[in-house]
Amino acid sequence: MHHPSFVFDLPIKSHFQTQWQAPSNIALVKYWGKHGQQLPKNPSISFTLSHCLTTTSVHFSPRKDGSPHFDFKFDQKKQPDFHPKIQQFLERIQPYFPALAQHHLSISSRNSFPHSSGIASSASAMAALALCIVDFEKQHHPNWTEEDAQQKASFLARLGSGSAARSIVGPMMVWGTSKAFPGSNDLYAVAPQPKWHPIFNNYQDTILLVDKDAKKVSSTAGHGLMEGHPFAEQRFAQAHRNMELLKQALTAGDLATFIACTEAEALSLHAMMMTSDPSFLLMKPNTLAILQKVRDFRTASGTPLCFTLDAGANVHILYPEQDRIPAMEFIKYEFTDFCHKGAFITDQVGEGAKKVID
Ligand code: DP6
């Protein structure tokens, strides 16, 4: 395998057009805290989703040498708001893909989920863009294996957004060095080898849109809150332990441990934000009400559903496909009124990104 940070300095200069779709992912063990150039302070593991997708096409055209040069459309419209993030991404990846200096990139993107819904789209967006760029590079490296290309795409996506490193293949990805997962590392995410228990291959994720407002704290500022945080070291140690526990639970199909670890991770993430300086309360009253009701319903009915959260008020409810009917009845009955315009998104564990052939 080629190390993905190795710079392939071939004289690439040609027209090339490609299109990829990449899924969002939901972390079970949370990445929270980073250092250096987008390196995680602790390992994380996520389910790759299948319905929340970004589809991106890129047309590369030759030009005179210079710094990254692109135009960007979202939903077929020019969107200058997105420019700084894309510019930063292209500048960061240029050392690993020097041919960027000799091409203009015409980028066009769309999401399968509402952009303003409060669902993080940076993971699927950066992964889709990274995959388009690696596809171009791949044309000039016919000896690359599929795994080489996936690793390079994850490596580049990480430089755009840490969680994007985990939006390449399914059903699960690990990012950050963890003793529980040989081959895991901080530079790119890997799809671990163990035989996952089949119950997790199509695990369900119903996303409750409690609050669609823009994030109160950007993720980069959020990660910064772990610098000098009084509980930082304990938190990182806890994440390492939860990687081990979850690996066992995910291979054995041990839902009790899966639920305990997943909920503990979500609550720890919010506990870190509540106890940082400055402190953030990102749950809304309805978020807390939902978490309590999920636990009550699980105790009363025995249906193994559980919750997880990202750095916001929305709740992801996770459950096995075989429990879909009682879980959805419960969700619709109890939570429709809690959600913005009664909205929720039904997703499930998926197979990863795909090239789109028109
Ligand atoms: C809480 O990947 O959005 O969702 O690297 O700054 O772009 P940047 O951060 P980002 O952080 C995601 C944090 C999280 C947990 C997770 O997905 O692991």
Range 224-240 average pLDDT: 97
In the reported structure, the alpha carbon of residue 143 is separated from the centroid of ligand 1 by a whole-number distance in angstroms of 33
Range 310-326 average pLDDT: 96
Q: Is 163 in the pocket of ligand 1 (CB under 6 A)?
A: yes
pLDDT value, residue 45:
98
pLDDT value, residue 117:
59
Atom of ligand 1 nearest to the CA of 30: 18
**What residues contact 128, with CB distance under 8 A and at least 6 apart?**
20, 21, 22, 54, 55, 56, 109, 353
In the reported structure, the alpha carbon of residue 13 is separated from the centroid of ligand 1 by a whole-number distance in angstroms of 34
Nearest residue (by CA) to ligand 1, atom 6, is: 220
In the reported structure, the alpha carbon of residue 104 is separated from the centroid of ligand 1 by a whole-number distance in angstroms of 29
Checking if the pLDDT of 5 tops 50, the result is yes
DSSP labels, 3-32: -TTS---------EEEEEEEEEEEEEEPP-
Helix (H, G, I), strand (E, B) or coil at 72: strand
* Least reliable range by pLDDT among 27-31, 92-96, 337-341: 337-341
In the reported structure, the alpha carbon of residue 219 is separated from the centroid of ligand 1 by a whole-number distance in angstroms of 6
**Domains plus CATH for the chain?**
16-196+351-355 (3.30.230.10), 203-348 (3.30.70.890)
Nearest residue (by CA) to ligand 1, atom 5, is: 162
Residue range 145-203, pLDDT digits in tens: 999 999 999 999 999 999 999 999 999 999 999 999 999 999 999 998 778 999 999 99
pLDDT band at 213 (very low <50, low <70, confident <90, very high): confident
In the reported structure, the alpha carbon of residue 337 is separated from the centroid of ligand 1 by a whole-number distance in angstroms of 28
Q: Is 50 in the pocket of ligand 1 (CB under 6 A)?
A: no
Range 108-113 average pLDDT: 93
In the reported structure, the alpha carbon of residue 207 is separated from the centroid of ligand 1 by a whole-number distance in angstroms of 17
pLDDT band at 118 (very low <50, low <70, confident <90, very high): low
Helix axes 83-93, 122-138, angle to 10 degrees: 40
Atom of ligand 1 nearest to the CA of 31: 18
Range 63-73 average pLDDT: 89
**What residues contact 159, with CB distance under 8 A and at least 6 apart?**
37, 38, 89, 92, 93, 96
In the reported structure, the alpha carbon of residue 47 is separated from the centroid of ligand 1 by a whole-number distance in angstroms of 14
Q: Is 316 in the pocket of ligand 1 (CB under 6 A)?
A: no
pLDDT value, residue 341:
78
Checking if the pLDDT of 353 tops 50, the result is yes
Which of 24, 26, 31 has most ligand 1 atoms within 8 Å of its beta carbon, as the pocket-test mutant? Answer: 31
* Least reliable range by pLDDT among 12-16, 174-178, 227-231, 257-261: 12-16
Range 332-343 average pLDDT: 87
Total-model pTM: 0.95
In the reported structure, the alpha carbon of residue 33 is separated from the centroid of ligand 1 by a whole-number distance in angstroms of 9
Q: 52, 120 in Cβ contact below 8 A?
A: no
Percent over 70 (pLDDT), the chain: 94
In the reported structure, the alpha carbon of residue 158 is separated from the centroid of ligand 1 by a whole-number distance in angstroms of 10
pLDDT value, residue 6:
57
Atom of ligand 1 nearest to the CA of 269: 1
Q: Is 42 in the pocket of ligand 1 (CB under 6 A)?
A: no
pLDDT band at 1 (very low <50, low <70, confident <90, very high): very low
Checking if the pLDDT of 13 tops 80, the result is no
Cα–Cα distance measured from residue 242 to residue 28, given in angstroms and rounded to the nearest whole number? 9
In the reported structure, the alpha carbon of residue 308 is separated from the centroid of ligand 1 by a whole-number distance in angstroms of 14
- Please state, rounded to an integer, the average pLDDT across all residues of the chain: 92
Helix (H, G, I), strand (E, B) or coil at 315: strand
Checking if the pLDDT of 35 tops 90, the result is yes
pLDDT band at 205 (very low <50, low <70, confident <90, very high): very high
Choice between 139 and 327, residue whose per-residue pLDDT is larger: 327
Atom of ligand 1 nearest to the CA of 123: 2
- Of 170, 160, 139, the closest CA to residue 53 belongs to 170
In total, the chain counts a number of residues equal to: 358
Q: Which long-range contacts (CB under 8 A, 24 or more apart) does 268-274 make?
A: 268/30, 268/235, 268/238, 269/30, 269/32, 269/309, 269/310, 269/311, 270/309, 271/231, 272/32, 272/225, 272/226, 272/229, 272/231, 272/235, 273/217, 273/222, 273/225, 273/311
Checking if the pLDDT of 284 tops 80, the result is yes
pLDDT value, residue 243:
98
Nearest residue (by CA) to ligand 1, atom 7, is: 161
Checking if the pLDDT of 88 tops 70, the result is yes
Q: Is 44 in the pocket of ligand 1 (CB under 6 A)?
A: yes
Q: 160, 224 in Cβ contact below 8 A?
A: no
**What residues contact 354, with CB distance under 8 A and at least 6 apart?**
20, 21
